[in-house]
A = this chain, B = another copy of it.
């Protein structure tokens, strides 16, 4: 992407000084109602102009009949009106010198030939005036760095370093919710809609250059420029990972995709092999996208695929082993000295092998974790129902309502100490993770949802370590990490 286009998008699409909302409305349920609300809520220094030719005022703002009537310069216009009126509005925008736009209006290219023609008309008008636009048939975009949101129906998200392009507005929203739920922050999110002007490939190229974005994620129904995508990806993935969820894999799904955003999933298929060769991490579900994104954002890349499993429960260890083995990860052979070190911590009945089952002995997680991390035969650690367990014991300590109060007080003091100790240990774990360059993937299977507010989990979120809900999902994230690390090594991108 040439520098001037990058700057146009960076300045006018993602960080405009002045915004016109065409179709701004006071009617709850209307797009123009929620969009202007969101913009007013998050405006900071940004100027917001309401365009509405039927009412003198919207949300307490004086309205203008057209974009042309705004007295000051307008950088960016968001357009949420019936599709038949969009070309006229585009003419207004170009006349006004608007540099970027986002068209929410649907009923265009996705519905057939007539709509596609209307789209081409919009593109022709925009080109004439050097304006670039997102959509139509899209759900908005956002830039957390400058608190700028056109995503009307979704709450503001946490700031972070994951950049997202989604060829479905509803899915963009779903992605934002997933991020909030999983504690992953975003740099930019774009719902690309029908991509009449700006394509998925443009956004990917933009995010590749965007310093706020460290990992790129995309929900793809169809590549409009498949070859270009692969070229961009091949170059980008050497420095910045790209994760793709490509839907329409089945013929029924491809058919559904076509009637959704008119995406060409049938005619421009990029095979799994081609994506792999370009270093792209492919996922099947949005949750999987976040699982690997969170790991890439925080964890070192492992040097191999030998996994050390630390488990608080034997069954969890078996399930984790199965999950790793199914995905082609190796269960590390622990070195003799590691076994000896663990013998000093665990009672004789521990299985003396990987997975390291702490046989329901409480509070031995970290004394067991350190030797596993130090072991030269281990490239990465999968901690199942072990890290975070002080919280669980604390909860167990809370439980007994039948307990005499002097015992309860004592138990609680003791639980507080245990929890504080675990929080300290987490800082050490992070240090050692960096020192040994070994990722630590955490599965919190013994945790109930309310535990998410516990101090240990707050700490984990603060340091950016995701707690994976199942060993299956944790193992998948690990497998992706290993694969990406191997890809970088094989292509000489890692020293």
**A interface residues with partner B (beta carbon < 8 Å):** 26, 28-29, 33-34, 37-38, 40-41, 59-60, 106-107, 110-111, 115, 152-153, 155, 166-171, 173-174, 177, 180-181, 219, 221, 247-253, 255-257, 259-261, 284-287, 312-319, 321-322, 324-326, 331, 347-349, 351-353, 355, 357, 359-360, 362, 385, 392-393, 396-397, 399-404, 407, 410-411, 414-415, 445-449, 469-470, 472
Residue pair B322, A250 in contact (C-beta under 8 Å): yes
Among B115, B221, B355, the residue within 8 A (CB) of A315 is: B221
Q: Across the interface, which residues of B come within 8 angstroms of A472, CB to CB?
A: 284-285
Q: Across the interface, which residues of B come within 8 angstroms of A396, CB to CB?
A: 34, 152-153
Among B40, B170, B404, the residue within 8 A (CB) of A312 is: B170
Instruction: State A319–B253 Cα separation when bound (angstroms).
Output: 7
Q: Across the interface, which residues of B come within 8 angstroms of A181, CB to CB?
A: 448-449
Shortest A391–chain B CB gap in Å is 13
Shortest A378–chain B CB gap in Å is 15
Residue pair B34, A315 in contact (C-beta under 8 Å): no
Q: Across the interface, which residues of B come within 8 angstroms of A411, CB to CB?
A: 28
Query: Of A286, A318, A360, A445, which is in contact with the most chain B CB atoms at under 10 Å from its CB?
Result: A318
Among B106, B170, B324, B446, the residue within 8 A (CB) of A316 is: B170
Among B173, B318, B469, the residue within 8 A (CB) of A446 is: B173
Among B360, B393, B397, B407, the residue within 8 A (CB) of A106 is: B360
Residue pair B38, A167 in contact (C-beta under 8 Å): no
Instruction: State A123–B317 Cα separation when bound (angstroms).
Output: 28
Residue pair B247, A318 in contact (C-beta under 8 Å): yes
**Quick one: closest B residue to A104, CB to CB?**
B360
Q: Can you give 20 A-B contacts (C-beta < 8 A)?
A: A28-B411, A34-B399, A59-B403, A106-B359, A106-B360, A107-B347, A155-B448, A168-B313, A168-B315, A171-B316, A177-B445, A177-B446, A181-B449, A221-B318, A247-B322, A248-B318, A260-B315, A260-B317, A260-B318, A286-B470
Instruction: State A384–B155 Cα separation when bound (angstroms).
Output: 20
**Quick one: closest B residue to A451, CB to CB?**
B177
Instruction: State A45–B219 Cα separation when bound (angstroms).
Output: 58
Shortest A319–chain B CB gap in Å is 5
Shortest A148–chain B CB gap in Å is 15
Q: Across the interface, which residues of B come within 8 angstroms of A33, CB to CB?
A: 400
Residue pair A400, B287 in contact (C-beta under 8 Å): no
Shortest A44–chain B CB gap in Å is 13
Residue pair B41, A249 in contact (C-beta under 8 Å): no
Q: Across the interface, which residues of B come within 8 angstroms of A257, CB to CB?
A: 318
Instruction: State A261–B318 Cα separation when bound (angstroms).
Output: 10
Q: Across the interface, which residues of B come within 8 angstroms of A41, CB to CB?
A: 399-402
**Quick one: closest B residue to A167, CB to CB?**
B315
Shortest A192–chain B CB gap in Å is 11
Q: Across the interface, which residues of B come within 8 angstroms of A285, CB to CB?
A: 470, 472
Among B38, B171, B314, the residue within 8 A (CB) of A261 is: B314
Shortest A388–chain B CB gap in Å is 13
**Quick one: closest B residue to A249, CB to CB?**
B322
Q: Across the interface, which residues of B come within 8 angstroms of A469, CB to CB?
A: 287
Instruction: State A313–B257 Cα separation when bound (angstroms).
Output: 11
Instruction: State A348–B348 Cα separation when bound (angstroms).
Output: 72
Nearest 6 A-B pairs (CB), nearest first? A170-B313, A168-B315, A260-B314, A37-B400, A253-B322, A250-B325
Residue pair A360, B170 in contact (C-beta under 8 Å): yes
Q: Across the interface, which residues of B come within 8 angstroms of A331, CB to CB?
A: 252, 256
Given A28-B397, A170-B446, A324-B252, is A40 in contact with B315 using a C-beta cutoff of 8 Å?
A: no
Instruction: State A38–B395 Cα separation when bound (angstroms).
Output: 13
Shortest A307–chain B CB gap in Å is 10
Residue pair B400, A326 in contact (C-beta under 8 Å): no
Instruction: State A487–B168 Cα separation when bound (angstroms).
Output: 38
Residue pair A40, B316 in contact (C-beta under 8 Å): no
Residue pair A316, B174 in contact (C-beta under 8 Å): yes
Residue pair B260, A357 in contact (C-beta under 8 Å): yes
Shortest A158–chain B CB gap in Å is 13
Among B253, B385, B448, the residue within 8 A (CB) of A318 is: B253
Given A59-B404, A107-B349, A400-B34, is A322 in contact with B28 using a C-beta cutoff of 8 Å?
A: no
Residue pair B256, A317 in contact (C-beta under 8 Å): yes
Residue pair B359, A315 in contact (C-beta under 8 Å): no
**Quick one: closest B residue to A410, CB to CB?**
B28
Instruction: State A393–B152 Cα separation when bound (angstroms).
Output: 11
Residue pair B314, A59 in contact (C-beta under 8 Å): no
